[in-house]
Amino acid sequence: MKHLVDILQVLIDMLMVGTVSVAALAAVGMSMQFMMIVNVLMTLFVVGGNALISRFIGQGRKKRASALLFSLVLLALALSVVISIAGYFGAYNFYSWMGATAAVVQEGGTYFRVISLGISVIFLDTLLYNALSAAGDTKSSLYIKLASSALNAGLNYLLIFGHFGFPELGIEGAAIATVIAYSFNNVAYYVLIKKMNAKLDFLPIIRWKDIKRVLKVGYAGAIDRGVSSLSFLFFVSIITAYGTAELAGYQVGLRVEGIAFMPGFGFAIAAMALVGQNIGKKDFDKAYNMGIISGRIAYVFMGSVGLVMILFPEYLVHFFTKDALTIAVASKYLILVGLAQIPLAIMFVYSASLRGAGATKTTLKVNLLSLWVFRLIPSYIAYKMGFGIVVIFAIMNLETLIKGIIYWRIYSTRTWLHTKV
């Protein structure tokens, strides 16, 4: 549910920004692609940290898990400084390199500069949420996120449009609201972790051995995320070549699709934690079954939402924009991706289960092969041959189906359960 609230927050951002201009809408959408690159560094400590913390909790070693969490906070802060500097000074260039129009570059640069200044709170939000999930506490973070989403929506209303005496900042106001909401999350997570009887704590001990173990697992996950992020940027650049309306339509469709796949992410994180905890207890059969159960819930939920996207695409899209071409593109996107929600759910949960077991090298190989062989190269060829944007969307969904089948086959072997971390 926390991930559903996440995407609803993004949707509210885009609903409000969409009233500013199509360029602003496209700019916010493209910023999500850039944040995928930022997620590479987060993966370096989050995936490995999640795997180890869940195992320590499963073994009843709270102090060891708490010491690791403290070390990861320091690592996250150090890495965030580098990203903040690069993001702030390179914001406008990022959009230019993606081939965006001048209007999108201007709006996007303004938005992403502010987001870059708040990278540290975004890093800590991701780390603390995943740490609590690894420890088995997912309800508390949901309540925190509900409160911050309400705060974000209220600040959007004030800062984007300039109500009640606040300055009318447009897209910059949306970015400021987002950073404030993340800051609120961090304060709430800190209070939660420091309360009595919490499953985790901040224990100021640095164990280099555990940090090395985290990085050993995390580096393959980071490479995986890096390759995926660069691949998606390349994919978006292909879509950008079709025009601003096509790009905006894709971004709107992607955000609406998030209603389905963000809960999928939630089940994936739950599977990652449960698999890791049960491997820590040496209960391999239960670890395997936790992934199976999570997968079934995920594909029932995502498949149901996918059906809604197929049946009512225009209705879902028209909240974000009144531009006819953008609505047409986004509607076609939703119809196609609605058909791919079940294999996407399988991919989410089973790949996360493998990461929870520490098998990040396996997920790296699968994603690298699938994205380039079945998505990017065919999409580039289709674009050069003059095919329309719908063909690009169809290729994307075919790749999702193939990847889902691959993960299902790997998961069924059970060999990943015995990965050494």
pLDDT tens across 83-112, in order?
Answer: 899 889 988 888 888 777 788 888 888 888
Our measurement of the distance from residue 290's CA atom to the centroid of its chain's CA atoms, rounded to an integer in Å, reads 22
Average pLDDT over residues 1-9: 58
Contacts of 163 (CB under 8 A, 6+ apart): 157
Contacts of 372 (CB under 8 A, 6+ apart): 231
> Is residue 141 within 8 Å of 132, Cβ to Cβ?
yes
pLDDT at 395: 95
- Residue 107 in 3-state DSSP? helix
- Residue 100 in 3-state DSSP? coil
Query: Which residue is associated with the tokens 């989403």?
Result: 149
Query: What confidence tier does 3 reach under pLDDT thresholds 50, 70, 90?
Result: low
Query: What confidence tier does 42 reach under pLDDT thresholds 50, 70, 90?
Result: confident
**Angle CA(324)–CA(328)–CA(332) in degrees, nearest 5?**
170
Q: 354-371, pLDDT tens digit by residue?
A: 988 888 888 888 988 999
Query: What confidence tier does 8 reach under pLDDT thresholds 50, 70, 90?
Result: low
Percent of the chain scoring above 70 in pLDDT: 95
Average pLDDT over residues 388-398: 93
Query: What confidence tier does 250 reach under pLDDT thresholds 50, 70, 90?
Result: confident
DSSP 339: T
Task: Give the residue from 266, 181, 191, 179 showing the smallest Cα distance to 2.
Answer: 266
> Is residue 174 within 8 Å of 160, Cβ to Cβ?
yes
Average pLDDT over residues 134-139: 70
pLDDT at 234 over 60: yes
Structural tokens at position 203: 């224990």
Average the pLDDT over each of 50-64, 157-171, 251-265 and give the range with the smallest value: 251-265
Contacts of 201 (CB under 8 A, 6+ apart): 62, 66, 69, 193, 194
Is the pLDDT higher at 406 or at 150? 406
pLDDT at 196: 52
pLDDT at 10: 66
Query: What confidence tier does 134 reach under pLDDT thresholds 50, 70, 90?
Result: confident
Instruction: Tell me how far apart the alpha carbons of residues 49 and 70 are, in angstroms, rounded to a whole number.
Output: 11
Query: What confidence tier does 9 reach under pLDDT thresholds 50, 70, 90?
Result: low
165 φ, ψ (degrees, to nearest 5): 85, -5
pLDDT at 59: 77
Inter-axis angle of helices 119-134 and 62-97, nearest 10: 140
Highest mean pLDDT among 31-35, 67-71, 292-296, 378-382 belongs to 378-382
> Is residue 303 within 8 Å of 341, Cβ to Cβ?
yes
Q: What is the mean pLDDT of the chain?
A: 84
Q: Does an H or E element contain 125, and which? A: helix 119-134
Is the pLDDT higher at 213 or at 219? 213
Q: 287-335, pLDDT tens digit by residue?
A: 899 999 988 988 888 889 889 999 999 888 887 777 788 888 889 999 9
Is the pLDDT higher at 178 or at 197? 178
Is the pLDDT higher at 12 or at 156? 156
pLDDT at 192 over 60: yes
pLDDT at 144: 85
Average the pLDDT over each of 17-31, 82-96, 171-185 and give the range with the smallest value: 17-31
pLDDT at 421 over 70: no
- The model's pTM is 0.68
pLDDT at 5 over 70: no
Average pLDDT over residues 264-284: 81
Is the pLDDT higher at 280 or at 157? 157
pLDDT at 377: 94
pLDDT at 11: 66
pLDDT at 7 over 70: no
Average pLDDT over residues 226-253: 83
List the end-to-end C-alpha distance of the chain, in Å, as a whole number. 29
The torsion region of residue 351 among left (phi > 0), alpha (psi -120 to 50) and beta comes to alpha
pLDDT at 409 over 90: yes
